C-alpha cells in the first residue's frame, strides 16, 4: 500500500498542541493510555507491534475499531477534520515498513526508508511522514527537536538556516541554538549571542549582552548581575526587580526576598517596604519576619496574608476590637492600578459590614466595579479568611 498524501491550502497548525509557555510546560501524552494486548511486542515510547502492524497505545486514537491505535490507518473522519482545519500539506504513514520500524521517541519514529512524526490533539493523533528527513542520520535531541545530516526539525517543521552539525538544546524542548543563532520554537531570537546564550531558571535566559524573558529581551536589564529568585518568575539585577520580565516598580532590590512561589500564578515577596503578592503590597503590611502557613498563606506579626487566586489579589486578615476582619483592594483590571481599600468583618455566615475606604495617603474613594465586592464575598474565599483567623491570637 502506498502513502496517502493530502494537500490543503494553508499552514495553520490547528491540530497541534500549543507551544508551551515559559511559566508552564505541556504535559506529555494525549489522553489515557491503552493496555497492551497478549502478543503485543513492545517497541518503546508507547508503540507496539501487533498482528503485523504498528500501534501507538500511549494515549489517543487515530482510527476506528480494531484499528483505533494503528498508526498507518487513520480514519476518514480524522482526515477530514485535519483537512478542514487547513493543516498541511501532509502525507500519512500508510506503507510503513513494520519490520524495520523504530520508535525514537513518542513523537519521532522511522523505518529503513522514512521518518515519521506524531501530530497530537485532544484525544486524537495522526502520524505523518517527514518528507525530507533522512532516516539513516535522523537524531532526536528533545521531545520537539530533531536533526538529520541536512536539517534541523522543530516538531515537524524544518528550521530554515539552522545548522544540524552544531545545534544543541538549551532548555526544555523549544529553546535551542547553533553556531550562528538562537531559536525559540519556530523563531530566531534576533541579536542573541549563541556562544554565551544560556538558561538561568524558570523562563529567564541571558547572554553576554542582554537578559531575556522567553524570547523577549528585558529592556535595560544588566545580564552580569541578573539572577532569578528561587526558580520563580521573580528576578533582579543590580538596580531593578522583574516579574515575568516586567519591571516591578517601587521594589527595593537590596532587601527583596522571595517568601513563596506558586508556579500557577503568584509569588509572595518581602522587602523593606512590606509584604507583597506579585506587584501589589498586602494591605497593612510592614517589614518583618514572615512565616509560611501553606502554599497561599503567610503570617507576619499580628497579620495573616493570603492570596486570592481568583484575580491574583492580596488579602490581609487581622483582628480589630475582637472581630475578625479582612481587607483587600479594588483595582483597575486593565492597568492593575489600585483604586481603594475594601474592608469587611468575617463571620461564619459570610462577610458583613463591607465598606470601601481610601488608599493610604489618599482621600478620594473611586466607585468600585460591580463585580469586585461579590468576588471578595465568595464562600471559598471567606473559608480561607476564617482559616487564616485561626492563626491569630
pLDDT at residue number 11: 32
CA dihedral 164, 170, 175, 180 (to 10 degrees): -50
Q: What single string gives the DSSP state of each residue in 204-258?
A: EEE-SS-EEETTEEPTT--TTT-EESTTSSEEE-SS-EEETTEE-TT--TTT-EE
235: Cα separation from own chain's centroid: 18
Is residue 319 scored above 90 in pLDDT?
Answer: yes
Give domain status of residue 208, yes or no. Answer: no
Average pLDDT over residues 226-231: 96
CA pair distance 84, 100, nearest whole angstrom: 33
The grid coordinates of residue 111 equal: 523505518
Cβ neighbour number for residue 275 with a 10 Å cutoff: 26
- Chosen domain end from 129, 148, 165: 129
Q: What is the per-residue pLDDT across 4-16, written as a single tens digit (0 to 9) for each? A: 556 443 333 333 3
48 and 149 inside one domain: no
* 215 lies in some domain: no
CA dist list (Å): 390 to 259, 284, 296, 333, 351: 21, 19, 15, 31, 17
**Residue 122, pLDDT score:** 86
Residues 20 and 113 in one domain: yes
Q: Give me the pLDDT at residue 30, please.
A: 57
Residues 175, 116 share a domain: no
Looking at the structure, tell me whether residues 77 and 159 fall in a common domain.
no
Mean pLDDT over residues 330-345, rounded?
Answer: 92
Q: How far apart are CA 39 and CA 18, in angstroms?
A: 36
Cell numbers at 392, concatenated: 491569630
Q: In what order do the strands lie in the sheet containing 115-121?
A: 102-103, 108-110, 115-121, 124-129
pTM of the model: 0.84
Residues 303-319 have a mean pLDDT of 95
- Mean pLDDT (the chain) is 91
Domain end call among 83, 102, 129: 129
Q: Can you give the pLDDT at residue 171?
A: 87
Same domain, 78 and 23: yes
Q: For residue 6, what pLDDT is reported?
A: 60
pLDDT tier for residue 133 given thresholds of 50, 70 and 90: very high
In terms of phi and psi (left: phi > 0; alpha: psi -120 to 50; beta: otherwise), the region of 169 is beta
**150 lies in the same domain as 41:** no
- The C-alpha cell that represents 124 in the structure block: 486524537
Q: Is residue 382 part of a domain?
A: yes
Three-state DSSP state, 381: helix
If asked whether residues 67 and 112 sit together in one domain, one would say yes
Confidence of residue 334 (pLDDT cuts 50, 70, 90): confident
Q: Is residue 279 part of a domain?
A: no
| 16, 122: one domain | yes
Distance CA 141, CA 16 (A): 20
The region of weakest confidence among 33-37, 62-66, 96-100, 106-110 is 33-37
Of 107, 129, 151, the residue that ends a domain is 129
Q: 276 lies in a domain?
A: no
Asked whether residue 20 carries a pLDDT value surpassing 70, the answer given is no
On the question of pLDDT at 1 being above 70, the answer is: no
Which range of residues forms the domain containing residue 183?
A: 138-188
My answer on whether 70 and 155 are in the same domain is no
pLDDT of 204 above 70: yes
Q: Can you give the pLDDT at residue 28?
A: 42
- Mean pLDDT, range 315-325, rounded to an integer: 97
Residue 330 lies in a domain: yes
Q: Which residues contact 81 (CB under 8 A, 6 or more apart)?
A: 15, 124
Question: Quick one: average pLDDT of 319-328?
Answer: 97
* CA pair distance 144, 133, nearest whole angstrom: 15
Q: Which residue has the higher pLDDT, 265 or 22?
A: 265
Q: Is residue 202 part of a domain?
A: no
Tallying the residues shown for the chain, one arrives at 393
Taking Cα atoms as reference points, which of 304, 291, 218, 223 lies closest to residue 260? 291
| Same domain flag for 38 and 125 | yes
By C-alpha distance, which of 280, 320, 316, 278 is closest to 300? 316
Q: Are both 103 and 144 inside the same structural domain?
A: no
Percent above pLDDT 90 for the chain: 86
Q: Which residue has the cell 474592608?
A: 343
Domain match, 109 and 184 both: no
Question: Cell 531570537, residue?
Answer: 189
- Residue 172 is predicted with a pLDDT of 81
How many distinct structural domains can be found in the chain? 3
Residue among 155, 103, 120 nearest 28 (CA): 120
pLDDT of res. 17: 33
Write the pLDDT tens digit of every residue in 254-287: 999 999 999 878 999 999 999 999 999 999 999 9
Which letter does DSSP use for residue 385 in this model?
H
> Taking CA 32 as the corner, what is the angle to CA 29 and CA 35, rounded to the nearest 5 degrees?
110
Q: Which residue has the cell 512524526?
A: 117
Domain-located, residue 200:
no
Backbone angles phi, psi at 375, to 5 degrees: -65, -40
Residue 105 in 3-state DSSP? Answer: coil
Amino acid at each position: 500500500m502506498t502513502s496517502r498524501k493530502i494537500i490543503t491550502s494553508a499552514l495553520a497548525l490547528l491540530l497541534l498542541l500549543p507551544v508551551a509557555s515559559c511559566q508552564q510546560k505541556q504535559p506529555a501524552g494525549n489522553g489515557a493510555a491503552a493496555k497492551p494486548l497478549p502478543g503485543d511486542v513492545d517497541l518503546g515510547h508507547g508503540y507496539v507491534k501487533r498482528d503485523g502492524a504498528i500501534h501507538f497505545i500511549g494515549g489517543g486514537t487515530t482510527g476506528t475499531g480494531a484499528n483505533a491505535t494503528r498508526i498507518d490507518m487513520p480514519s476518514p473522519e480524522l482526515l477530514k477534520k485535519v483537512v478542514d482545519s487547513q493543516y498541511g500539506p501532509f502525507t500519512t504513514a500508510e506503507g510503513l515498513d513494520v519490520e524495520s520500524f523504530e520508535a525514537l521517541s513518542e513523537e519521532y519514529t522511522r523505518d529503513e526508508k522514512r521518518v515519521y512524526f506524531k501530530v497530537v490533539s485532544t484525544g486524537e493523533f495522526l502520524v505523518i511522514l517527514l518528507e525530507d528527513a533522512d532516516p539513516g542520520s535522523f537524531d532526536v535531541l528533545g521531545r520537539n527537536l530533531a536533526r538529520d545530516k541536512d536539517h534541523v526539525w522543530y516538531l515537524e517543521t524544518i528550521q530554515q538556516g539552522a545548522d544540524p552539525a552544531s545545534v544543541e538544546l538549551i532548555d526544555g524542548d523549544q529553546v535551542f541554538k547553533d553556531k550562528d543563532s538562537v531559536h525559540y520554537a519556530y523563531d530566531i531570537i534576533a541579536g542573541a549571542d549563541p556562544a554565551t546564550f544560556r538558561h538561568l531558571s524558570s523562563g529567564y535566559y541571558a547572554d553576554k549582552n542582554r537578559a531575556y524573558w522567553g524570547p523577549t529581551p528585558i529592556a535595560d536589564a544588566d545580564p552580569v548581575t541578573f539572577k532569578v529568585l528561587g526558580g520563580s518568575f521573580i528576578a533582579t539585577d543590580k538596580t531593578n526587580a522583574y516579574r515575568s520580565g516586567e519591571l516591578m516598580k517601587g521594589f527595593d532590590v537590596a532587601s527583596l526576598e522571595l517568601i513563596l512561589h506558586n508556579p500557577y500564578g503568584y509569588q509572595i515577596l518581602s522587602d523593606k517596604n512590606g509584604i507583597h503578592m506579585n506587584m501589589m503590597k498586602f494591605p497593612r503590611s510592614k517589614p518583618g519576619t514572615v512565616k509560611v502557613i501553606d502554599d497561599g498563606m503567610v503570617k507576619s506579626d499580628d497579620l495573616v496574608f493570603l492570596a486570592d487566586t481568583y484575580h491574583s489579589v492580596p488579602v490581609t486578615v487581622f483582628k480589630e476590637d475582637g472581630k475578625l476582619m479582612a481587607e483587600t483592594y479594588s483595582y483597575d483590571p486593565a492597568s492593575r492600578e489600585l483604586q481603594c481599600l475594601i474592608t469587611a468583618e468575617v463571620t461564619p455566615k459570610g462577610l458583613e459590614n463591607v465598606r470601601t475606604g481610601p488608599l493610604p495617603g489618599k482621600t478620594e474613594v473611586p466607585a468600585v466595579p460591580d463585580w469586585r465586592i461579590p468576588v471578595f464575598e465568595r464562600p471559598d474565599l471567606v473559608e480561607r479568611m476564617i482559616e487564616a483567623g485561626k492563626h491569630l491570637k
